[in-house]
Structure 1
Amino acid sequence: MPETRQLRPANTGIRPIPAGGAIEAHWHDRNQIVYAGRGVLSVTTDAGSWIVPGTRAIWVPAGTLHEHRAYGETALHTVGLEENPLGLDAPSALVVSPLLRELLLTYTSDEEADADERRRLHLVLLDQLRRSPQRPTYLPTPRDARLAAVCDLLRDNPADPRTLTELGREVGASERNLSRLCRTDLGMTFPQWRTQLRLHQALRLLATGESVTRVAHQCGWASTSAFIDTFRAAFGHTPGARRA
Structure 2
Amino acid sequence: MPNIRHTPVAPTRAQQMAPGDTIDAHRHDDHQIVYAGRGVLAVTTGAGTWVAPATRAIWVPAGTVHAHRAHGSLELHLMGIAADENPLGLDAPTVLMVGPLLRELFLAHTRAPDDDTPEGARLRAVLLDQLRVSPQRPVTLPAPSDPRLVAVCALLEADPADRRGLAELGLLVGASERTLTRLFRADLGMTFPQWRTQLRLYRALQLLAEDTPVTAVAHRCGWSSTSAFIDVFRRAFGHTPGAHGRLR
Q: Give the direction of change, closer, same or farther, for the CA distance of 1:3–1:62 in structure 2 (3 Å limit).
A: farther
Q: 2:216 pairs with 195, 214, 217, which one?
A: 214
* 1:225 aligns to 2:230 (yes or no): no
TM (norm. structure 2) is: 0.95
Counterpart of 1:92 in structure 2 is 94
Counterpart of 1:239 in structure 2 is 241
CA distance in 1, matches of 2:66, 2:32: 11
Give, in angstroms, the shift of residue 6 of structure 1.
Answer: 2.9
CA distance in 1, matches of 2:149, 2:115: 51
Deviations 1:71-105 (A, max 9, x none): 11101001111121110010000000111101101
Which SS does the other structure have where 1:151 is aligned?
Answer: helix
Counterpart of 2:48 in structure 1 is 48
Give, in angstroms, the shift of residue 58 of structure 1.
Answer: 0.1
Which SS does the other structure have where 2:162 is aligned?
Answer: coil
Q: Give the direction of change, closer, same or farther, for the CA distance of 1:74–1:5 in structure 2 (3 Å limit).
A: closer
* 1:16 aligns to 2:16 (yes or no): yes
Give, in angstroms, the shift of residue 110 of structure 1.
Answer: 3.0
Q: How many residues align?
A: 243
| Backbone CA RMSD of aligned residues | 1.4
Which SS does the other structure have where 1:204 is aligned?
Answer: helix
* 1:198 aligns to 2:200 (yes or no): yes
Counterpart of 1:136 in structure 2 is 138
Q: 1:150 pairs with 144, 149, 152, which one?
A: 152
Give, in angstroms, the shift of residue 187 of structure 1.
Answer: 0.3
Which SS does the other structure have where 1:108 is aligned?
Answer: helix
Deviations 1:154-180 (A, max 9, x none): 000000000111111111100111011
Give, in angstroms, the shift of residue 57 of structure 1.
Answer: 0.2
Q: Percent identity?
A: 63
Counterpart of 1:177 in structure 2 is 179
Give, in angstroms, the shift of residue 13 of structure 1.
Answer: 1.1
CA distance in 2, matches of 1:45, 1:4: 12
Tell me if structure 1 keeps the 8 A contact 2:167–2:177: yes
CA distance in 1, matches of 2:37, 2:77: 7
Give, in angstroms, the shift of residue 5 of structure 1.
Answer: 4.1
CA distance in 1, matches of 2:37, 2:87: 22
Tell me if structure 1 keeps the 8 A contact 2:4–2:26: no
Which SS does the other structure have where 1:33 is aligned?
Answer: strand
Give, in angstroms, the shift of residue 4 of structure 1.
Answer: 7.7
Which SS does the other structure have where 2:44 is aligned?
Answer: strand
Give, in angstroms, the shift of residue 122 of structure 1.
Answer: 1.2
Tell me if structure 2 keeps the 8 A contact 1:8–1:26: no
CA distance in 2, matches of 1:123, 1:94: 18
Q: Give the direction of change, closer, same or farther, for the CA distance of 1:29–1:223 in structure 2 (3 Å limit).
A: same
Give, in angstroms, the shift of residue 116 of structure 1.
Answer: 0.6
Tell me if structure 1 keeps the 8 A contact 2:4–2:65: no
Comparing 164-173 and 106-115, the one that deviates more: 106-115
